[in-house]
Amino acid sequence: MSIDPSAVVKIGYKSIKFIIEFIEIVESNKEESKKLIDRLARIQYIIDKNESDLKMILRLQQIVGTTNKIAEKYRADYEASCFSSWKVCCQKLKTAKDYQIIRENIEKMNNEVDRVVGDTHICLTVDVQRQNNQIIGITVSIREQLSEIQKKQNEIHDDIKELKQRQKPKVYTEQKFKCIIDKLKQEYSDKYSKIQRLITDKSYPIEQSYVNLAIIENSEKQPSQNQKQDLSTIGCTTYEQIYGNKEPINVKDLFNHHENKPRKRLLVYGRAGIGKTTLCQYVAYQWAKGQLYQQYKCVIWIRLRNLSENLYQLRQAQPYILSEIVKQECFKTQTLNDGEEEMLNSLLRNISSDILWLLDGYDELNVPDRLQAPLEELMNKQYQILTSRPSTKVPYRYDVELEITGFKESD
């Protein structure tokens, strides 16, 4: 399951923005929370003080109740006997005055309690209202910021979409690839139809030259004790002098299954001048003429000795890519324009499983650092024939190893 990069950016951006805003709100509320705590402490002090005053009022009310009872008793005594002494009357009058004073004090205290409670209620109401206003302001600010964030996210999404559209490689159909493949076939047909003999300086049609191949079995590749001398020491230049006869195989059968195992990567050994390059030329030409390996849509022949300092100069711009090497090695007469170069790059990516690579001369390889990446890509291609001299160790895995035993014009 693929992950949408825009969704990841969106979620990440939201999360970071929310955390930043939360921290800002917490920081801004610290002072307000401290002020509110101070106000609550003052209110608590007033409430505690009022509670003590209320306790005193309750005590006074008890006194008043007792006094009322006494006054009622004195009033009854006064009405029952008109002959009470003057002292008793004075005591009654004094008690009545004290009662009146007590009632007035109680009234004052009640008024004070009402005032304090009213002030506390007003203070609390004002603070709550202020907090509500602040919360409303913060909410509005958050909504505005969220709106701004959404706007930014939409802009980022549009930028990413535009960038993807810009970076999205063009998709070519096989019909458009055909023009590149046709040019490659024309190149092979024009350049490789003849083979030049070095000794006679005469040229012969490539169809008349065949390369005889033999399969080297793994069990045969272990020399005996008497055969472990260096090839250069004993003067041997071929495998057959050490290992004996091999199982011959026709070029057209190289990729046939062997013991129910597919052959995809072939390593072909041969001494200098025995026909390794001729084999590659023969395969390329016969494919171009529709006579060989038609299961492959494309056959690409790369001479590894050409991957050198002189042909691929150091440059400060972008590094070399495989399509540049293919263009340089395979399209010398059939040139490609800019659009066809881009199409060639797409062809190498999209039909890689339908391309046979002829990699000629591993023993002649002297590649600079700037070509290491495309070389490694070449050496790991799925379908390939690699040629090399037997004295050079090849550190890559191959399905079968073969030896060129020579070619005859009469074949």
- Tens digits of per-residue pLDDT, 361-372? 999 999 999 999
More confident residue, 384 or 195: 384
What pLDDT is attached to residue 234? 43
Q: What is the pLDDT of residue 371?
A: 94
317 vs 405, residue with greater confidence: 405
Weakest mean pLDDT among 9-13, 58-62, 89-93, 260-264: 89-93
The pLDDT of residue 239 = 46
Residue 66 CA neighbour count, 13 Å, CB half: 7
Provide the pLDDT confidence category of residue 22 given band limits of 50, 70 and 90.
low
Residue 238 has pLDDT above 60, yes or no: no
pLDDT at 228: 38
Least confident of 2-11, 153-162, 304-313, 343-352: 2-11
Q: Is the pTM of this model over 0.75?
A: no
pLDDT band for position 84 (cuts 50, 70, 90): low
- Mean model confidence pLDDT for the chain: 77
Q: Is the pLDDT of residue 190 over 90?
A: yes
The predicted model gives 24-53 an average pLDDT of 68
Which is higher by pLDDT, 268 or 230? Answer: 268
Q: How do the residues of the chain divide into helix, strand and coil, expressed in percent and rounded to 5?
A: 60, 10, 30
**Distance (Å, rounded) from C-alpha 213 to C-alpha 411?**
12
Q: What is the pLDDT of residue 153?
A: 74
How high is the pLDDT of residue 152?
Answer: 76
Strand partners, 216: 401
pLDDT of residue 61: 72
Read off the pLDDT band of 87 (50, 70, 90): low
- 350's CB contacts (< 8 A; 6+ apart) are 172, 177
Q: What does the chain come to in residues?
A: 411
Under the banding of pLDDT at 50, 70 and 90, the label for residue 74 is low
* pLDDT, position 108: 74
- Characterise 301 by phi-psi region: left (phi > 0), alpha (psi -120 to 50), beta (else): beta
Q: How confident is the model at residue 82 (pLDDT cuts 50, 70, 90)?
A: very low
